[in-house]
Structures are given as structure tokens and as C-alpha cells.
Copies of this chain bind each other. A is one copy, B any other.
Amino acid sequence: MSANRLIYLPLGGAGEIGMNAYVYGYGPAGKERLILVDLGVAFPDMDTSPGVDLILPDVSWLADKLDRLEAIFITHAHEDHIGALAPLWPRLQKKVYARRFTATIGKLKFDEAGLPLDQIVTVGARPDTVEVGPFKVQFVPVSHSIPESSALVIDTPAGRIFHSADFKIDHDPVVGEAWDDARFAEIVKERPVKAMTCDSTNVFSTHEGRSESTLGPALTDLIRSCTGMVVATTFGSNVARLKTLAEAARAANRTVCVLGRSMKRMLSASEEAAVLSAFPKTVSPEEALEVPRRNLMLLATGSQGERRAASAQLSRGKYLGIEMKEGDTFLFSSKTIPGNERDVLRVWNALSEKGVQVIDDQGGKYHVSGHANRPDLEHVHRLILPDMLIPMHGEHRHLAEHARIATESGIAAAVARNGTMLDLSGDVPEVAEYVETGRLYLDGTAIIGALDGVVRDRIRMALNGLVTVTLIVDETNSAMGEPWVETMGLPTKGRGERPLAETMEADLDEVVGRLGRKILADDAKLEEELRKVVRQVAMEEIGKKPEVTVVISRLVAE
């Protein structure tokens, strides 16, 4: 009897939408050979991660088992699947397998980070197979909103896993392979699927998803009806949408100009990987200035209201010499990701102030999602017929709902959040272990732990303001001069007319005058006393308790 087992362990992506990182393992318990599927980022916000550049999954568990890690597979080139590859690869140092377009983007990132390009290996679609350790992995083309998105068929001695990655059912996508039930039926016929790990993003959308190709006519009509310049934004990586928009522009007799680095990069990578055919000719921003407004259409980055992206810059003023005016039209061919509403509305209102007509997706008329809705998920469940379904790519609520509908249709399901290792060897998923996981922050060039306290301190300073107290103590443990107070992020005046800092200094001076040598000799106690005074004065004067840093300088006899 074999003691080998088949395990699944999400290190990211199960409990949030973002920073996908899924581990599969096969072998004796605790000695499984491992592969990692995807290594993505999540995006910081001011509420929980101010000042942070990117959020990465904590892969320490994996980094401690490098002798067991066989390889990394990347399903597609969205940042939430590939964004952490360059920052974290130095900790993992294993070969990365991806299809051509994804590999092209990966190599661009490796190049920028000075990492070895030969560690990224381009793989063809199924039947091409990557064999690493006990795993045989195939990339299965699926429709999504970026070229060459792929599900993975992962064969192990314990059974076949179908890892859906991000997908939608699109029988007529503008870019990439059409959805084909037969392709999946064949996979199942070849070998039944033991476990399906499945995208849960749109489980709450109860209507069938729509094809990208349904957008073209409505977009063309809209653009034709506009008399001024038209600017459309969408995700820079949504190459299909860029093509849909550019073709609608051409049909409306407009010249297209692409604004924004991420968009241009995606388009050039698409050309390099030969996944984009017949994209309408575009002009440069300088050339665009010569085109009559009624014949011009701009494609701009920044659909989520990102402050530095082209859309936000256009909303504030000129961008590369181009300025929006009354009579122009701005289209959000996108949906707003929860949490980005304020930023998106800031752009919208700023454009409105310029007299620009702003149009959102109009409930789906000008945007379709790249993820499968509930009826589509149910269709795929029936197609793949897995023994078990493990929801992934979702917040807890998505995972729970997805598990519920699977269970209702008779498929064994389990909600496994980041750090929950499931044993898939039997007939039903079983929790094998809880593994410590978490988030890392890329902060400037440093990588810090989310719980290191660095960001907590930033949040505290932002909420409470900061008071710095400095005091010099001489060799005899007497205070020299008076305590000095600097405030930052606090009102300069309190209840009275006297500056807050002066009131604090006066009270501190009085207290220091009363303190015994014993306390003056003891840094910790002295700090505590001074901190107490500052907080007390602040409460009285401004009704809040600031953060307090105390710096005691001790003069030593020289």
C-alpha cells in the first residue's frame, strides 16, 4: 500500500481576489514533491497598506522546501497571477513554465529585475506536456481577457487535477481560442478528473456571461454618435477589448492612438507572441494632435482611476499635449473593482467639470467580464464532472457560495482558504494541515512582512498624528535646558490661543522639574513619563491622543 498523497495548498488567492499562488504536491506525507501554480500580486490601499507598492503572497513555506519544489507554472499574464514572480523568484529559483505570450511578459519583467531569462520556458498548448517529478502538466487554452490564458491539466499518480485558472465561456472571443466544450469533454474522456480547482470570481452573477464579440456593434454605434474626441479606457491587459475598441473606432472612421505604458506594452507583447492579428493601425500622440477631434479615438490606461495613469492625467489637464474639452466623450469600457470607486468617480467628476460626457459600462452594454458567471460555472462543473470541486480565486464569500452550488449538484466540495492544505487522495477533500501564510509588502525596494509593524506604525501616525519630544540629560542625570516638542499631523493650536507644542513644552518642563534623579536616569521610565504628559495635554487641548516619540540624549563626560 502506498502512503503517497495528493495535496493542494493555496498560499494566496483563496480568501481574496488577487495574489494567486497555489501549491500542488504528490508523495509521502511531508515529503511530497511540489509545484507552484501562479505567483501574483494584490494591490495595496490606503486603509490597510499605505505607502506599500505591491502585496505579495508569503511563500516562506515553499522557500523552506526548495529541495521539494519542482517548478513554477504561470497560467496567464495578469498581474494577480504573474506580478510577484520577479520579486519572489530569487527566493524560489525554479524553472518557470508558461505559454508564449505569458512567457514574453514574464521575460520583460525578469529583464527589468536582472533575473536570468533562461529560467522562463515557453510551452505549447496541450497536448504539449511538461513532466516534472511525479507531475505531467498541460496548458489548456481557455477564454479570458488576456491572450493565451490557460487552464492546467495536472496529472499525478493519484489522479488528474483540472486547475481552471481564470476563464469565461466565450464561443466567439475577439482574441484567442474560442471556447469549445469538446476540448474539455476530451480531457475527461482521456482520464476522469479527480479534483477541479475553479475560478469563483463571478459566482454571484446569476446570468449567463456574454461574448466579447457582442460589444462591437454597441461600441461602434456609440462612437459614431459622438461629435468630439472619444477616449476609452479599459484594463491595459485586456487585449481583446483594446481590439474591440480599436475596430469600433475604425468602423466609426476614427484614427486610434494608444496612451499609457501598460497598454502599449501589452500590445507589443501581443504582437511579439503573434496572438494579435489585424489590430488597426495606431498613431503617436504627436500625430494625434493633427487629427480632427471628430476623427480621433484614444485608448487610455487607468480604468480604475489610478492617479498616475493616462485617464486621470487627462481628467486633470493635458497629457502629452492632448486635452479633453466640452463636447468630447469619455468611456469606461470596464467595471470598477470594489474599493476603487472613489478614484474612478474622481476621474469622472473631473471630466464632468471639463464638460466632457462620461459614459460607464451601462450595465454591461460596453463591458463584459472575463470570468465565468454562475450558470457558466455550473456548465463547466457538468462538463468536467470532477469528484471534488475546490473553489479558488475568490474572497471567502465567493468560495463558500461556489462550494455550496457544487455540493448542491452532488460534487464533494471544500472551502480552503490560504494556508489550508487539503488532502485530495480520497473520495472527498480533507484538511491535512493548516500552514502559516500571510502577506508580504513590496515597499520601495524592501520586502517586509505585513505583520512586521511597519505599516501599523504608518497607519497610527496617519490616524493620530505624531509628537516628538527631545530632552537632553547631563552626566549627573539632570535635564539640560527644556524639553523640546515637534508635532506633525496635528493642529497647531488647541483650545487656547497658545500653540499646542508650547503648551506641551511648558507642561513637560514642569514635570521634568519634579522628576527625581532615579527616573531621569532610567530611559524607559523617563520616556513613559514624558509620553504620558504629551498625551494628557493633547487630550485636553485637541481631544485626541497622538503617537509620541521620545528622544533622550545623554551627555557623557568626554
Q: Kindly state whether residue A494 has any CB partner on chain B within 8 Å.
A: yes
Q: Kindly state whether residue A50 has any CB partner on chain B within 8 Å.
A: yes
Q: Kindly state whether residue A109 has any CB partner on chain B within 8 Å.
A: no
User: Is the pair B444, A454 in contact by a Cβ cutoff of 8 Å?
Assistant: no
User: Is the pair B395, A454 in contact by a Cβ cutoff of 8 Å?
Assistant: no
Distance, CA A355 to CA B465, complexed state (A): 39
User: Is the pair A51, B489 in contact by a Cβ cutoff of 8 Å?
Assistant: yes
Q: When A397-B352, A458-B489, A551-B486 are in contact, do A50 and B448 touch as well, CB less than 8 Å? A: no
Q: When A50-B46, A342-B47, A542-B444 are in contact, do A468 and B396 touch as well, CB less than 8 Å? A: no
Distance, CA A462 to CA B47, complexed state (A): 10
> How many copies of this chain does one complex carry?
2
Q: Kindly state whether residue A339 has any CB partner on chain B within 8 Å.
A: yes
In the complex, residue of chain B having the shortest beta-carbon distance to the beta carbon of A491: B446
Number of chain A residues whose Cβ lies closer than 8 Å to a Cβ of chain B: 63
Some 11 contacts from A to B, beta carbons below 8 A apart, are A15-B349, A46-B47, A348-B395, A349-B396, A355-B400, A445-B542, A457-B489, A458-B461, A458-B489, A470-B470, A488-B547
User: Is the pair A454, B490 in contact by a Cβ cutoff of 8 Å?
Assistant: yes
User: Is the pair A484, B553 in contact by a Cβ cutoff of 8 Å?
Assistant: yes
Distance, CA A342 to CA B484, complexed state (A): 41
User: Is the pair A462, B543 in contact by a Cβ cutoff of 8 Å?
Assistant: no
User: Is the pair A454, B443 in contact by a Cβ cutoff of 8 Å?
Assistant: no
Q: Kindly state whether residue A464 has any CB partner on chain B within 8 Å.
A: yes
Interface residues of A (CB under 8 A from B): 15, 45-47, 50-51, 338-339, 341-342, 345, 348-349, 352-353, 355, 358, 395-397, 400, 443-446, 448, 452, 454-455, 457-459, 461-466, 468, 470, 472, 480-481, 484, 486, 488-495, 541-544, 547, 549, 551, 553, 555-556
Inter-chain contacts of A395 with B (CB < 8 A): 345, 348-349, 352
Distance, CA A189 to CA B468, complexed state (A): 67
A542 interface neighbour in B446, B461, B468, Cβ under 8 Å: B446
Distance, CA A491 to CA B342, complexed state (A): 29
Q: How far is the CB of A394 from chain B (nearest CB, A)?
A: 10
User: Is the pair B465, A462 in contact by a Cβ cutoff of 8 Å?
Assistant: no
Distance, CA A481 to CA B341, complexed state (A): 52
Q: When A443-B542, A466-B488, A542-B443 are in contact, do A349 and B397 touch as well, CB less than 8 Å? A: yes
Inter-chain contacts of A543 with B (CB < 8 A): 444-446
In the complex, residue of chain B having the shortest beta-carbon distance to the beta carbon of A463: B51
Distance, CA A548 to CA B136, complexed state (A): 54
Q: How far is the CB of A554 from chain B (nearest CB, A)?
A: 9
Q: How far is the CB of A197 from chain B (nearest CB, A)?
A: 19
Q: How far is the CB of A49 from chain B (nearest CB, A)?
A: 10
Q: How far is the CB of A342 from chain B (nearest CB, A)?
A: 5
Inter-chain contacts of A341 with B (CB < 8 A): 338-339, 341
Inter-chain contacts of A45 with B (CB < 8 A): 46, 342
Distance, CA A124 to CA B462, complexed state (A): 46
User: Is the pair B481, A553 in contact by a Cβ cutoff of 8 Å?
Assistant: yes
In the complex, residue of chain B having the shortest beta-carbon distance to the beta carbon of A52: B463
User: Is the pair B345, A51 in contact by a Cβ cutoff of 8 Å?
Assistant: no
Q: How far is the CB of A353 from chain B (nearest CB, A)?
A: 5
Q: How far is the CB of A316 from chain B (nearest CB, A)?
A: 14
User: Is the pair A488, B338 in contact by a Cβ cutoff of 8 Å?
Assistant: no
